[in-house]
Amino acid sequence: MLPLNDVVSRTENEISSKTVTTNQKEKKTKQKLQLKAPTQERSKQTVNTLIQSCTDLLRKEGFFGVTTDKVAKSAGISIGSLYQFFGNKESVVSAVIQHALEGDMQLFENKIKEFSLGQEKNKKTYVVKTLIEIFENDLELKTKMLPIQNYLLEPTWINQYIQFFVKNISTFLSTDNEQISEVKINIFVSSFLGLIQNLIQQNKKISDEKDYLNYVISLYSQFI
């Protein structure tokens, strides 16, 4: 299992490395332009403030309601400063989505740690319930992210997100007597994430509907 600070430091590295290494490629494919690496502490703070403002805007108004002008204004940062770090709206929104998904991963790490210290017996049900909690966390934002995240993020990024859960769940469920198959857990995580995404698209929330919740726990707890 990755230690928590790996996730955190990866977040920071990605912000800076992305600007340097993938700028060229993104320009060609998705018109995301992130121009300057925020190496100094103050630059990092500016980037974080912009991401936070854009998160709020995306949650409230959706992708088509976001403009770089609005993001800069509500962050209290000049539009010139915004363009020092992000070449366009796609670039800011892409950083917002990554930040939110990194939040999911961090939350999962914490939940797994909490369990180790706790008393609960059934690890499998715990995994299913925790995944529902995490994938449905900040549902308003997730609803707005869903139509654009496959479009704006590189496929490798989404794969890393899925693999993070696969590796951590495999480790969590494995015992001295039983090594859990990663192929099996990949089917589990890919199905589960896909389910939640398709339900979000249908405006359904598992945790609100007892019928849905029961079927989901029955389908998934027995499998892993």
Residues lying near its own copies in the complex (CB under 8 A) are found at 28-30, 64, 146-148, 150-151, 155, 158-159, 162, 181, 183-184, 186-188, 190-199, 201-202, 209, 211-212, 215-216, 218-219, 222-223
Structure tokens at 138: 């900040």
For the chain, how many helices (H) and strands (E)? 11, 0
Task: Return d(Cα 17, Cα 37) in angstroms, integer.
Answer: 7
DSSP secondary structure string, 43-66? HHHHHHHHHHHHHHHHHHH-GGG-
User: CB-wise, 47 or 89, nearer to its own copies?
Assistant: 89
User: CB-wise, 37 or 158, nearer to its own copies?
Assistant: 158
User: CB-wise, 115 or 212, nearer to its own copies?
Assistant: 212
Q: State the nearest-atom distance from the C-beta of 195 to its own copies, in Å.
A: 4
Angle at 24 between CA 22 and CA 28, to 5 degrees: 110
Q: State the nearest-atom distance from the C-beta of 204 to its own copies, in Å.
A: 8
Q: State the nearest-atom distance from the C-beta of 41 to its own copies, in Å.
A: 35
Angle at 148 between CA 146 and CA 151, to 5 degrees: 125
Q: State the nearest-atom distance from the C-beta of 218 to its own copies, in Å.
A: 8
- Distance in angstroms between the alpha carbons of the first and the last residue of the chain: 18
Q: State the nearest-atom distance from the C-beta of 210 to its own copies, in Å.
A: 10
User: CB-wise, 80 or 155, nearer to its own copies?
Assistant: 155
Structure tokens at 113: 């740690």
Angle at 1 between CA 153 and CA 215, to 5 degrees: 70
Side chain identity, residue 1: M
User: CB-wise, 17 or 201, nearer to its own copies?
Assistant: 201
